[in-house]
Structure 1
């Protein structure tokens, strides 16, 4: 496999209900990850140099589900399944981060 130009990490952290830090798992990260993997496979994003990996906690638990794209170090927060196409088309293929989903600079910046 060639070295990816972009590596996408999706937080898959789950904590028990009521945990003070919250978790991406409680906010639908599984759906986000599954949609991203579906698009990665069906659109053959490997040919665009994109790799997708499920990850542990990325930090800002209450702002999740969180998606982190390297090498840019762009973090998206509050991502929903419906947002995945916009991230794929705009950022992963088009090279332009999706402004409306960017993590608050107070948290990641």
Structure 2
């Protein structure tokens, strides 16, 4: 079994029936997942960073929401342009991105 260094959860407003509709989805969270996937591939971190989409975390006004474990760091209002910084500073530099944290 793979033991990743980071497990990333991104709200895509996915409902129980599989539909994606809601605030994070409307704010581009699906594009955000694509950006994370691309960065994982570009940096060859597929064993180190695992990605999952989630349903609502309940703080929609701060979405899109990204949660990173094992630290339990919550990021809010994350956009695709922020993904590179998260990789540079948090995943590779071991320092969470303070201005994105909620």
- Shorter-normalised TM range: 0.7 to 0.9
User: 1-side partners of 2:61 and 2:25: how far apart?
Assistant: 11
Counterpart of 2:24 in structure 1 is: 24
C-alpha RMSD over aligned residues: 1.4
Counterpart of 2:10 in structure 1 is: 10
TM superposition score normalised by structure 1 = 0.81
Secondary structure (helix, strand or coil) at the match of 2:52 reads strand
Counterpart of 2:82 in structure 1 is: 83
5+ residue gaps, structure 2, are: 14-19
- Aligned pair count reads 96
Give CA-to-partner distance per residue, 1:19-42, whole Å, 9 cap, x none.
xxx510111111111100111112
Secondary structure (helix, strand or coil) at the match of 1:8 reads strand
TM superposition score normalised by structure 2 = 0.86
5+ residue gaps, structure 1, are: 16-21, 104-109
* Segments of 4+ moved more than 2 angstroms: none
Deviation of residue 59 (structure 1)?
A: 2.3
